[in-house]
Amino acid sequence: MSVKTLTPLTTGVDEYNVEKIRKDFPILAQTIHGKPLVYLDNAATAQKPQAVIDSIVEYYTSMNANVHRGVHHLSEVSTKAFEDARIKIKEFINAKSESEVIFTRGTTEAINLVAASYGRAFLKEGDEIILTGMEHHSNLVPWQLIAKEKQLKIKIIPVDDNGELVLDDLENFFTEKTKFAAINYVSNSLGTINDVKKIIDTSHLHSVPVLLDAAQTVNHLEIDVQKLDCDFLAFSGHKLYGPTGIGILYGKKSLLDSMPPYMGGGDMIAKVTYSESTYNELPHKFEAGTSNIADAIALGAAIDYVKQIGLEAIAHHENCLLEYATAELLNLEGLKIIGTAKNKCGVISFVFDTIHPHDVGTFLDFEGIAVRTGHHCTQPLMHRFGIPATTRASFAMYNTKNEVDILINGLKRVIKVFK
């Protein structure tokens, strides 16, 4: 693999200046065990810029009130900020309408919503659902639950030794019983960028709707749901430099309109009597109860921040780090990279022949380096590669080449100690 130089791309504002960006993330200035923090666990959750932290503080300091139901000033201000955030998200993914943007707690809840609501209403015994061999448990277990309830069959698109989906005979996956596909866009364990357009187009030839799990995508690649023509898309705010506890389900209006509510409660109704209820229009039909208002607004602030730097510039920077790290890691004795797809972003996973990932992670922690070790909520994928776990370093807009060097030096010491 040739290594790109770390030439900065021009951002929306000025030249990509990683040191300037780092100053916007107060947590990065910390020391851990007496060493400067090197945060390489971004695929688990990204750190938050001051703008996002300020948004949360500002909301509770001057705006807090419940949305939609009040006529008083604070409620109107809060409702406007909440709905403005929805518009920002609509624009960020280029949805046709903000009514297609539903606030959830995260990717997991968004996928559960579709599996439960669409699954219960439209899938019947014997129907088939297509998933891939690299799904996060969040895009596998909800489908297993509905499959058990409805006697559905789950079919898995296999993964090859490089960590790419085997799509050559994709057509053969479809039968007249295939009724849904739920597909990982970017693998959290391998970093593979899947050819989701091919899967969507093939699925649509068979009138099969497609849900994309974009949890690891929105922070690295620009998403245009209209161009992709996906039917549903799920992501979490916290991987996009926003808060935890807030996420998005995008769905095509016609599909969302046809689906029954997922949860019942306040805000999702039109009229309620003791015997029955009618439901609110989109998106509120799927937002029962008080929403996570402050964090929805802060997700809007995160999107503003990301747009200001520019996703293209961020992706370029991260790809340079990924290529540099890949080349350096391959020089280490006994190390094997898991996931060598041609198209990757964000993540590098590796194993040592004789050192357990948990030992690697614990050792690195003492050096101030945060990486993730384990199965990354993809146990079947680990099984596919015949390993229990990997060590995973994952990059964000604020990581530096120097941090990659610190990681490599830390790993050299790991090898020395454990061999």
Q: Which residues make up the interface to ligand PLP (CB under 6 A)?
A: 106-108, 136, 138-139, 184, 188, 213, 215-216, 236
Distance of closest approach, residue 275 Cβ to ligand PLP, in angstroms: 36
Report how far apart the first and last C-alpha atoms of the chain are (Å, whole number): 28
Nearer to ligand PLP, 28 or 233 (CB): 233
Q: In the complex with ligand PLP, which residue's Cβ is closer, 246 or 335?
A: 246
State the minimum distance, in angstroms, from the CB of residue 11 to ligand PLP: 26
Specify the residue, 183 or 406, whose C-beta has the smaller distance to ligand PLP. Answer: 183
Instruction: For residues 46 and 242, give the distance between their C-alpha atoms in angstroms, rounded to a whole number.
Output: 8
Residue 277 vs residues 57, 268, 280: alpha-carbon distances, Å: 37, 10, 10
Q: Which is nearer to ligand PLP, 216 or 292 (CB)?
A: 216
354 in Cβ contact with 334 (< 8 Å) = yes
Please identify, using beta-carbon distances, which residue of 213 and 367 lies nearer to ligand PLP.
213
Minimum Å distance from CB 215 to ligand PLP?
Answer: 3
List all residues 6 or more positions away from 409 whose beta carbon is below 8 Å from its beta carbon.
Answer: none
* DSSP-assigned letters across all residues of 10-52: B-SSSB--HHHHHHT-GGGG-EETTEE-EE-BTTT-----HHH
Min dist. Cβ of residue 183 to ligand PLP (A): 11
Catalytic residue among 230, 320, 345, 377: 377
| Closer residue to ligand PLP in complex, CB, 135/231 | 135
User: Rounded to the nearest 5 degrees, what angle is found at the Cα of 219, between the Cα atoms of 248 and 301?
Assistant: 65
Q: For residue 22, with 0-12 CB atoms within 10 Å meaning exposed, 13-18 middle and 19 or more buried, which class applies?
A: middle
What 3-state DSSP class applies to 273? coil
Judged by CB, which is closer to ligand PLP: 56, or 141? 141
Q: Smallest Cα–Cα separation from 135: which of 383, 395, 335?
A: 383
Q: Classify the C-alpha dihedral 70-71-77-83 as positive or negative.
A: positive
Gap between the Cα atoms of 339 and 347, Å rounded? 9
Q: How far is the CB of 382 from ligand PLP (least distance, A)?
A: 14
CB 154 within 8 A of CB 147: yes
Rg (C-alpha) for the chain, rounded Å, is 22
Tokens coding 51:
């703008």
β pairing state of 101-104 and 247-251: antiparallel
Active site residue 377: yes
CB-wise, 42 or 178, nearer to ligand PLP? 42
Shortest distance, CB of residue 214 to ligand PLP, whole angstroms?
8
| Partner residues linked to 103 by β-bridges | 248
Helix (H) or strand (E) holding 90, with range, is helix 73-93
Q: Report the nearest approach of ligand PLP to the CB of residue 376 (Å).
A: 7
| Residue that has been written with the tokens 């916290």 in this structure | 238
Q: How many CB atoms lie within 10 A of CB 3?
A: 13
Closest CA to 135 of 196, 80, 79: 196
Residue with tokens 């961020």: 314
Cα 175 from chain centre: 30
Query: Minimum Å distance from CB 269 to ligand PLP?
Result: 26
Structure-block tokens of residue 212: 């994309």
Which residues are designated catalytic? 377
